[in-house]
A and B are shown apart, each in its own frame.
Chain A
Amino acid sequence: SAVISQKPSRDICQRGTSLTIQCQVDSQVTMMFWYRQQPGQSLTLIATANQGSEATYESGFVIDKFPISRPNLTFSTLTVSNMSPEDSSIYLCSAAETRLGGYTFGSGTRLTVV
């Protein structure tokens, strides 16, 4: 299965700033996704990153706050914009080669906003 490199692994940011998280997959994958895991909670899907077109966002998430790029089949970025302490979470990218083949996850980015 695919291997995902995600960076940074953690960061502490000032409120009002933005952070871009990168995910690199070691093979071409059909689907890439971004999740958020707030403290003590389960994973919530933010959006599906679509290659060459705008991402598909879940209810409650908007492009202005979480812009996503996916320029090719192996790479995607998520930006957390105009951060507030409520954005402190673990952010994870995920990839799947096929819908039924199972998902692989990156190592996560632990974000703290102060």
Chain B
Amino acid sequence: KQEVTQIPAALSVPEGENLVLNCSFTDSAIYNLQWFRQDPGKGLTSLLLIQSSQREQTSGRLNASLDKSSGRSTLYIAASQPGDSATYLCAPYGNNRLAFGKGNQVVVIP
């Protein structure tokens, strides 16, 4: 069974600082990995999708890297803003399903 760990579980940063969110997974036999954002009590918004053949994917201030062989992915958020406050979830896809960790809970302080 795929186990997903996200570190740190929670962090608070001042506005403008860069964010680094780490995700590790135990089974490297994945097809792709998605990063999602979840606001409190809400659904998930897809941020980035990285295929297993890719090393990284970028969208605006967001950049995600994937090292499939070592079972790691990192989400970088540049120049954080208060609107970035949310929980970020990484979800590797393999064995016909997405696996989720508990997320990185981020608070950006104005």
Q: Given A42-B102, A42-B103, A99–B96 Cβ distance below 8 Å?
A: yes
A105 proximal to B (CB < 8 A): yes
Interface residues of B (CB under 8 A from A): 4, 31-32, 34, 36, 41-46, 49, 51, 89, 91, 93, 96-98, 100-103
- Residues of chain A within 8 A (CB-CB) of B41 are 10, 90, 108, 110
- Residues of chain A within 8 A (CB-CB) of B45 are 105
Report how many A-B pairs have Cβ atoms within 8 Å: 53
- Residues of chain B within 8 A (CB-CB) of A104 are 46
Q: Which of A17-44 contact B (CB under 8 A)?
A: 40-43
Q: Which residue of A lies closest to B6 (CB)?
A: A42
Size class of the A contact interface (CB-based, 8 Å):
20 to 34
What per-residue 1/0 map shows which CB atoms of A88-114 lie under 8 Å from chain B? 001010100001111111111010000
- Pair B43/A6 contact, Cβ less than 8 Å: yes
A110 to chain B, nearest CB (A): 5
Interface residues of A (CB under 8 A from B): 1, 6, 10, 40-43, 45, 90, 92, 94, 99-108, 110
- Residues of chain A within 8 A (CB-CB) of B101 are 42
- Residues of chain B within 8 A (CB-CB) of A102 are 32, 34, 46, 49
Known: A40-B102, A94-B44, A104-B46. 6 other contacts (CB 8 A): A41-B102, A43-B98, A94-B98, A102-B32, A105-B36, A108-B43
- Pair A105/B31 contact, Cβ less than 8 Å: no
- Residues of chain B within 8 A (CB-CB) of A106 are 43
- Pair B43/A105 contact, Cβ less than 8 Å: yes
A100 contact from B4, B32, B42, B46, Cβ within 8 A: B32
A1 to B36 alpha-carbon distance, docked (Å) = 14
Q: Which residue of B lies closest to A90 (CB)?
A: B41
Q: List 30 A-B contacts (CB under 8 A).
A: A1-B46, A6-B43, A40-B102, A41-B102, A42-B4, A42-B100, A42-B101, A42-B102, A43-B100, A45-B97, A90-B41, A92-B44, A94-B44, A94-B98, A99-B31, A99-B93, A99-B96, A100-B31, A100-B32, A100-B93, A102-B32, A102-B34, A102-B49, A103-B46, A104-B46, A105-B44, A106-B43, A108-B42, A108-B43, A108-B44
